[in-house]
Amino acid sequence: NAGVMQNPRHLVRRRGQEARLRCSPMKGHSHVYWYRQLPEEGLKFMVYLQKENIIDESGMPKERFSAEFPKEGPSILRIQQVVRGDSAAYFCASSELAGDYNEQFFGPGTRLTVL
């Protein structure tokens, strides 16, 4: 059973470009979470999605960031017009159920570098 897949693993963008990060949850998991980790810091929640629905986006910056989880295909985190402060590791996690007691399984992350 493959784990959570993320690609690309490393992404370099110049300021003003767009970044697209992809996440395929574990088989059978329909709940996806995105977190951001700045250097030497813990992970910060960004957004929680179920298939075709955004459930909680309380951690998403109001501008330039968007996320989707279509009926078919991976979840996408999109960052428009990237700035240097967007440089971070972005982790996706998935869970089978939505209950508070269910652990989330994390992917290897995408490390975004903005030049």
Partner 1 sequence: AQSVAQPEDQVNVAEGNPLTVKCTYSVSGNPYLFWYVQYPNRGLQFLLKYITGDNLVKGSYGFEAEFNKSQTSFHLKKPSALVSDSALYFCAVRDTRKLIFGAGTRLAVHP
Among 24, 79, 86, 109, binds partner 1 (CB under 8 A): 109
Q: What number of CA atoms fall less than 13 Å from residue 14's CA on the CB side? A: 0
Is residue 90 within the footprint of partner 1 (CB under 8 A)?
A: no
CA distance 52 to 50: 6
CB 87 within 8 Å of CB 113: yes
Please say which residue, 17 or 45, places its beta carbon nearer to partner 1: 45
Residues 34 and 19: their CA atoms lie apart, in Å, by 15
Residues 4-63 that bind partner 1 (CB under 8 A): 4, 6, 31, 33, 35, 41-45, 48, 55-56, 59
Residue 39 is classified by DSSP as T
Backbone angles phi, psi at 44, to 5 degrees: -115, 130
Query: Which CB atom, from 53 or from 72, has the smaller least distance to partner 1?
Result: 53
Residues near partner 1 (CB under 8 A): 4, 6, 31, 33, 35, 41-45, 48, 55-56, 59, 91, 93, 98, 100-101, 103-109, 111
